[in-house]
Amino acid sequence: MPTRSDLATRAAALAAAGTPFVWATVVRAERPTSAKPGDSALVLSDGELDGFVGGECAEATVRAQALEALTSGDTRMVRITPLLDMAQEPGVVVVHNSCLSGGMLDVFLEPSRPLPVIVVYGQAPIAAALVRADDRCGVASLSMSA
């Protein structure tokens, strides 16, 4: 199982390569569960999961929710619980888990998607203004071509 440092190194490499992924971190675990707070994993856009966020049932839920978060680009808190009548809390996605372990997990999902790259052609004043605005536009880079 990779350490948090191993995952951080891989996450940095994925981000540098422009590869989208979700960092999943267990923030609360109510026994009995195999996961503990601080356990984490990276989920890639093809569903590959590297790390540990619980057993098979928790892993399947985290994978599915991470892929949804990657599509939307929004962070989310996911509560995986065996309780059928769990009250909804604002900002928490509650997923019923019928696995035999009976534990409950809260997992924070943080998507990382590459920023868009924009190429600006020409030397017109508007082109120059776009290049200067790159830090305000939320793009990876802007370049100007003649």
**Which distant-in-sequence residues (6+ apart) come within 8 Å of 21 by Cβ?**
11, 14, 15, 42, 43, 44, 45, 70, 111, 112
Task: Please check whether residues 76 and 36 belong to one and the same domain.
Answer: yes
Per-residue confidence in pLDDT tens, the chain, 146 aa = 899 999 999 999 999 999 999 999 999 999 888 999 999 999 999 999 999 999 988 999 999 999 999 999 999 999 999 887 767 788 899 998 877 777 899 999 999 998 777 777 778 888 778 777 765 666 655 555 65
Task: Please check whether residues 53 and 124 belong to one and the same domain.
Answer: no
Task: Please check whether residues 8 and 80 belong to one and the same domain.
Answer: yes
Task: Please check whether residues 36 and 52 belong to one and the same domain.
Answer: yes
Pair of tokens at residue 79: 């509560």
Provide the whole-model pTM: 0.81
For residue 58, give its domain range. Answer: 4-112
Task: Please check whether residues 18 and 46 belong to one and the same domain.
Answer: yes
Task: Please check whether residues 17 and 53 belong to one and the same domain.
Answer: yes
In degrees rounded to 5, what are phi and psi of residue 120?
-105, 125
Number of structural domains, the chain?
A: 2
